[in-house]
């Protein structure tokens, strides 16, 4: 029954997205019915398509309400809206496929800081000013700021003159706030020119390879490879090769054993093994200490890239049980769960933000 909770959540999300796509088409039809003006509705959609990223809303909390938006939000997950082309052709079958170009204010202008002034190498931002803005703002980062945040969090601070400045600001934050700033950097990165984004990914990969991998490195690695690299075509969509948790039993054991090792009291595995055995019908083989390292966990997570959504939801369920077993959440546990969240595409549990990390 407990496993069913995560399974039902995944199925509910799929159903919500499917219903939302149908409702968008019905809403377009209803607007034409009420206005008797399909040309106006089609033109509005063409203008949306002519804006940067087709009017997509960039915000790390957009997923919570994306099904009520006029156009998609930039959130990781399933599609809640039909493609603009499909919606326009339903209204105007002979459409020539051309959008109407429209200019909108950039994220830099929304902050009142032109990019050249805010992120000039000769006038680096003040770390204290950055900290103050991160604490007070809604985390709408400008693109170059987002790029520097990822570089700094990955330890690639020597790759850009200002990455060290942003890094010194991040070092003064609590881990929870630094993680939130990093999460908020993902959407604005879509505005970074592709060559700069490729250089950033290369610098992060080199920085992570140059030093022993840490739990923070595991998390950043998953972010870069699963969320950022696909933006520029450096990483394709993996084939779903694993359709049961049993087929990834060793990888599951490595991840859960690492959470157990970092939990402090060593009781996490005792909480999840009965659940695992009951669900899979197979024995749980406890990995040795040499298999509970960040490098081994990173390898295990890469295997889960090719798992089905159902298998990913089962992994998240077991990780939550392991992490919440002792009632506290330390920084290493949170970083591990964040890495699992990136791989599975599932949200973090509320208990993470309430932890002591």
290-300 pLDDT, tens digit per residue, is 999 999 999 99
DSSP 225: I
Whole-number Cα distances in Å, 43 to 25, 52, 71 = 16, 16, 14
Q: Can you spell out the DSSP letters for 288-299? A: PGGGSSHHHHHH
- At residue 187, the pLDDT reads 85
Catalogue all structural domains in the chain, each as residue range(s) with its CATH number.
Answer: 15-91 (no CATH), 107-232 (no CATH), 245-353 (1.10.3680)
Three-class SS of residue 16?
helix
Q: Which segments in the chain show pLDDT lower than 50?
A: 1-2, 75-76, 105-122, 354-357
Question: In this structure, are residues 239 and 319 in contact, taking their beta carbons and an 8 Å threshold?
Answer: no
103-145 pLDDT, tens digit per residue, is 554 444 444 443 433 444 445 678 888 888 888 765 568 888 8
Burial of 111 (0-12, 13-18, 19+ CB in 10 A): middle
- At residue 303, the pLDDT reads 95
């Amino acid at each position: 029954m407990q496993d069913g909770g995560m399974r039902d959540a995944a199925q509910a999300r799929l159903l919500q997205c499917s219903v939302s796509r149908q409702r968008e088409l019905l809403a377009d039809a209803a607007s034409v019915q009420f206005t008797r003006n399909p040309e106006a509705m089609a033109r509005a959609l063409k203008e949306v398509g002519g804006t940067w990223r087709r009017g997509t809303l960039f915000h790390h909390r957009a997923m919570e309400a994306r099904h009520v938006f006029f156009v998609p939000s930039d959130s990781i997950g399933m599609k809640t809206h039909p493609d603009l082309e499909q919606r326009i052709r339903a209204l105007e079958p002979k459409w020539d496929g051309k959008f109407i170009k429209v200019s909108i204010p950039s994220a830099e202008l929304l902050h009142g800081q032109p990019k050249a002034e805010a992120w000039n190498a000769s006038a680096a931002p003040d770390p204290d000013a950055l900290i103050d803005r991160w604490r007070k703002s809604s985390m709408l980062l400008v693109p170059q700021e987002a790029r520097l945040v990822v570089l700094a969090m990955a330890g690639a601070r020597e790759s850009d003159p200002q990455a060290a400045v942003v890094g010194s600001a991040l070092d003064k934050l609590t881990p929870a706030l630094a993680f939130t700033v990093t999460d908020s950097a993902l959407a604005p990165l879509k505005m970074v020119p592709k060559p700069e984004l490729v250089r950033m990914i290369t610098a992060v990969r080199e920085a992570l390879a140059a030093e022993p991998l840490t739990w923070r490195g595991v998390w950043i690695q998953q972010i870069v490879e699963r969320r950022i690299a696909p933006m520029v075509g450096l990483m394709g969509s993996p084939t779903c090769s694993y359709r049961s948790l049993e087929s990834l039993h060793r990888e599951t054991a490595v991840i859960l054993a690492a959470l157990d090792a970092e939990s402090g009291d060593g009781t996490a595995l005792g909480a999840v093994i009965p659940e695992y055995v009951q669900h899979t019908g197979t024995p749980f083989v406890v990995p040795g200490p040499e298999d509970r390292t960040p490098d081994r966990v990173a390898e295990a997570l890469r295997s889960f890239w090719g798992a089905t959504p159902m298998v990913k939801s089962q992994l998240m369920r077991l990780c939550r049980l392991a992490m919440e077993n002792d009632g506290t959440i330390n920084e290493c546990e949170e970083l591990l769960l964040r890495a699992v969240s990136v791989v599975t595409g599932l949200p973090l549990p509320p208990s993470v933000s309430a932890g002591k990390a």
